Amino acid sequence: MKNLEREILEKAKSWLSTSFDEKTRNQVQHLLDYEPEELTESFYKNLEFGTGGLRGIMGVGTNRMNKYTVGMATQGLANYLIKTYPKDELIKVVIGYDSRNNSLYFAEIAADVLSANGCKVYLFEDLRPTPEISFAIRHLNCHSGIIITASHNPKEYNGYKAYWNDGAQLIPPHDKNVVEEASKIFDIAQVKFKGKKERIEILGEEIDNAYLKEIKGLSLSPEAIKAHHDIKIVYTPLHGTGAIMVPRCLKEFGFTNISSVEEQSVPDGNFPTVKSPNPEESAALKMAIDKAIKIDASLVMATDPDADRVGIAVRNHQGEFVLVNGNQTACLLTYYLLKKWEENKKLTGKEYIVKTIVTSELMKDIAIKFNVEYFDVLTGFKWIADVIRKNEEIKTFIGGGEESYGYMIGDFIRDKDAVSACAMIAEIAAWAAKKSKTIYDILIDIAVEFGLYKESLISIVRKGKTGAEEIQQMMANFRNYPPEKINGSRVILIKDYELQKEFDLSGNSMKQIDLPKSNVLQFFTEDGSKISVRPSGTEPKIKFYFSVMEQLYSADEYDELDQELGLKINNIIADLKLI
């Protein structure tokens, strides 16, 4: 512990050198003099690339998002790009940013560092959705890309996602190599902060137009939209970048009755109308639902600040708005896409979908029904993009999704995309209306056909250094002392993605898991329950995913069975002593 304290002090004092600006030096000195706990949190480690890139609280220190950590990460990226590509090749990088505080500032720092290293930089003129940056990388034939965003995190956070030339977030070996290059920077003077403005080109509407043209090409039911173009939709960008593109995309699809939540349509990194700008949380949709009730709308959609996730609410049979969770939306999209591809005679036997290991097994069941191949991957759309990369020009990717409200349709974007997802969800509403149904009816139809799956998630937050240690201990306990029964049902299968092993307890056998290592555990029980345990790669929390399923024989029994499955999940949570 004393060695760690000494290391923290040495790191902090190094930030008092004249290589750092006066404001930073004063803030570090204040921490040294008056705030030892905050000093520890700010310097006890370096920010690292997780499943969603670099992400942290804004402030001074090696474990914070600031000019210098952004500069070092970008210098590391520049060094790796220069090593990777021939010296005679002009390296091109796209940079975008969202509505968070300091996002433009960090984007300009990244642009300066890259241009100072001889790179050609494309910087968006204003905030743009994360998926548009992924699109722009491939559209402009760039080698890499950066988006400054902390996705749906609270306002004190910001982040830095790095992309490779296929428009996907970094995966091994690239992520590790960038981190390794950044770790070689022992002196901030090694970072080239003085940019070359002539190497920075500002991007505008031409990329927007190209991006929206590709999304419009995804439409599968234009006749349904034409017949029901005036369905009432309420949309909120939650003070983020969705305000730039989602309403325009919906209009280009043909929808004519879109109402935005005005108070939340103004980009604002303080997110003044919500506690958290996370569409996974019901409170984030409250203002939109209130407006939908007022104007008698049938569909509510909310995107997070960088518009890569979308949450929706629809009316049930009593006319009340109910939230549709990420698993349900992923399965709804999968069902619609495969059904329409089949109806439109587009299926050739070479198509596939991709889901993450913690996402509903219903996606797999739907794929099997339509004779479409499916892949399971680790959490994070970079792994979905990896499957696309490996199957390029061999097979056709239809769509993919994960339970955390992220979806990807088509392969021209290599990250989750709430802009195209909003358009497709609205199209499903029109398609259902043409059948005299609602999205809620379609969800019940799917449950009757495939069984009623119910999923839930709880996150246990443990902040700071001690919290990280506690999360590590929780994982160690589950790994070393796995439960024999969960809610009275025997555990028959354990998947340990860290060990890359699958243990069949009923057959007393073991086989390898052909996925990269990841600190995830899954327990499958005799009654069909699935429990996944995973520390977040970008936030100070450990996540528990629950999935239960029973056959639904009649639409009339939906509500009753849904309640029973909810109680079953509560019993599992209680049995595991998580709350």
Sign of the dihedral defined by the CA atoms of residues 464, 468, 470, 471, in that order: positive
Same domain as 355, residue 238: yes
- What's residue 540's pLDDT? 78
For residue 134, tell me if it sits in a domain. yes
The C-alpha torsion from 351 through 357 and 360 to 361, rounded to 10°, is 60
Answer whether residue 40 is part of any domain: no
How far apart CA 166 and CA 159 sit, in angstroms, is 21
Do 303 and 410 share a domain, yes or no? yes
Claim to verify: residue 420 and residue 536 sit in the same structural domain = no
- Within a domain: residue 213? no
Number of domains making up the chain: 3
363 φ/ψ angles, rounded to the nearest 5 degrees: -60, -40
Statement to judge: residues 511 and 366 lie in one domain: no
Domain boundary among 450, 469, 491: 450
35 lies in a domain? Answer: no
CATH code, domain carrying 50:
3.40.120.10
Residue 1: per-residue pLDDT: 43
Query: Residue 467 falls within a domain, yes or no?
Result: yes
Strands 489-496 and 501-504: antiparallel
- Is residue 356 located within the same domain as residue 462? no
Do 52 and 118 belong to one domain? yes
151 is catalytic: yes
Domain that holds residue 196: 45-203
Last residue of a domain, one of 399, 415, 450: 450
- Predicted TM-score of the model (pTM): 0.94
pLDDT for position 527:
93
* CB contact set of 127 (below 8 Å; sequence gap of 6+): 96, 97, 98, 99, 103, 104, 240, 241, 244, 267
Report helix, strand or coil for 41: helix
Asked if residue 499 belongs to a domain, the reply is yes
Residues 244 and 317 in one domain: yes
Judge whether 332 lies within some domain. yes
Interatomic CA distance for residues 42 and 40, integer angstroms? 5
Question: In this structure, are 396 and 269 located in the same domain?
Answer: yes
The tokens for 183 are: 């770790």
Contact 74, 65 (CB under 8 A): no
Give the CATH number of the domain where residue 521 resides: 3.30.310
E-assigned strands of 223-330? 233-236, 258-260, 299-303, 310-315, 321-324
* Residue 71 shares a structural domain with residue 186: yes
Q: Which one of 151, 360, 404, 456 is the catalytic residue?
A: 151
Is there a single domain that holds both residue 521 and residue 389?
A: no
Q: Do residue 319 and residue 394 come from a single domain?
A: yes
Domain boundary among 203, 235, 257: 203
Q: Are 290 and 173 contained in the same domain?
A: no
Q: Is residue 539 part of a domain?
A: yes
Tens place of pLDDT per residue across the chain (579 aa): 456 588 899 999 999 999 999 999 999 999 999 999 999 999 998 887 655 678 999 999 999 999 999 999 999 999 999 999 988 889 999 999 999 999 999 999 999 999 999 999 999 999 999 999 999 999 999 999 999 999 888 999 999 999 999 999 999 899 889 888 988 988 899 999 999 999 999 999 999 999 999 999 999 999 999 999 999 999 999 999 999 899 999 999 999 999 999 999 999 999 999 999 999 999 999 999 999 999 999 999 999 999 999 999 999 999 999 999 999 999 999 999 999 999 999 999 999 999 999 999 999 999 999 999 999 999 999 999 999 999 999 999 999 999 999 999 999 999 999 999 999 999 999 999 999 999 999 999 999 999 999 999 999 998 877 888 889 999 999 999 999 999 999 999 999 999 999 999 988 899 999 999 999 999 999 999 999 999 976 667 899 999 999 999 999 999 999 999 999 999 999 999 887
Q: What is the C-alpha to C-alpha distance for residues 71 and 192, in angstroms, rounded to an integer?
A: 8
